[in-house]
A = this chain, B = another copy of it.
Amino acid sequence: MKIGIIGGGSTGLLLSSYLCEHHNVTLYVRRQEQKEALNEYGLFLSNMETPFVIHTRLIEEIEEEDCFIICVKQHQIRDVLPHLHTINRQVPFLFLQNGMGHLEKIEELNNDIYVGVIEHGALRESDFCVNHTGKGKIKIATYRGHDEILPILIEKLNQPNFPVVISIDWEKLLANKLMVNAVINPITTLFHVPNKEVLTNPYLHHLAEQLCYEAATVLHLEYKTEFEKVKKIARQTGENKSSMLTDIENLRQTEIDSISGYIIENSHSAVPYTSFVYNGIKAIEYKHRIGKAYD
């Protein structure tokens, strides 16, 4: 299958490296510099000595593919949309963003839309090197389109060493992931701690519980079940740094708008703990002169 992967961040690089063995993968990136680096050196996965050879193009050079997987961060979706509009409407789009704010934006597309969450840990070491720090699954659901296509798509993407599985309810799938992100990401970032401290530090545990309660209320989820899931993930990813903490450490804009910002926007009553972490992360971005907080 000809797969177009859009976005040269950690997710885009990880998917490219796993999918390129069985598919004809083209990675679409934003910067000429990254395109050249990937063409010159190839794509390195973790500690492998031999790089994968993939096609790399700038997003402006988009071509027809059998399927597109969009891996950019949510705040970059707007920049990608004009290019997706040029694609034949028979081509399915798979969106792998955190949060749920992008759904509104992609509504305008004419193609079938699938959404998914990625449970892998991945760290971009450079423009052409990605470190697979935690193995997990990719879960996909139909957002808008033909349900019968999803199993076919999954069969093609799924690999024993890189599982891709079906999920029935897109809303629950995205809400569950958002829930976890709304708790673990801001706390680990504000306090510069690995994920497990959400469990082991009783004061962070308390704050996590408050954040979980607010997010569950807004997302219409059952708070106690959700908090058990949050704790399970904090345990499983114990020593890992959250993606938000990694973003801040690398002076990159975080996804706080798509995560806590979404909770605040969709709340019908006060969510003060969420509002605190939202402003707290924005304050750090401002202090470091990153992203919209400073623009």
Q: Mark A263-295, 1 if CB is under 8 A from B, else 0.
A: 000000010110110011011101100000100
Q: A195-207 toward B: CB 8 Å interface, digit per residue (1/0)? A: 0010001111011
Q: Are A201 and B283 in contact (CB under 8 A)?
A: yes
Would you call A190 an interface residue if the criterion is a C-beta within 8 Å of the partner chain's C-beta atoms?
A: yes
Tell me the smallest distance from the CB of A253 to a CB of chain B, in Å.
Answer: 14
Q: Which residue of chain B lies nearest to A197 when distances are taken between CB atoms in the complex? A: B287
Q: Of A207, A273, A276, which is in contact with the most chain B CB atoms at under 10 Å from its CB? A: A276
Residues in A67-114 with C-beta less than 8 Å from chain B: none
- As for how many copies of this chain the complex holds, the number is 2
SS of A interface (majority):
helix
A207 and B280 contacting across the interface, CB-CB below 8 Å:
yes
State which of B206, B207, B293 has its C-beta within 8 Å of the C-beta of A203.
B293
Determine if A190 and B193 form an interchain contact, defined as CB atoms under 8 angstroms apart.
no
Residues of B within 8 A of A41 (CB): none
B191 pairs with A286, CB closer than 8 A: no
Query: In the bound complex, do residue A279 and residue B197 qualify as a contact, i.e. CB atoms below 8 Å apart?
Result: no
Residues of B within 8 A of A193 (CB): 287
A 189-226 contacts with B by CB, 8 A: 190-191, 193, 197, 201-204, 206-207, 210
Q: When the two chains form their complex, are residues B203 and A286 in contact, meaning their CB atoms are under 8 A apart?
A: yes
Q: Which A-B residue pairs are the 4 nearest by beta carbons?
A: A272-B272, A203-B283, A203-B282, A203-B279
**Apart from A203-B282, A273-B276: 12 A-B pairs, beta carbons within 8 A:** A191-B280, A191-B284, A201-B283, A201-B286, A201-B287, A202-B286, A203-B283, A204-B279, A206-B279, A207-B283, A272-B272, A272-B276
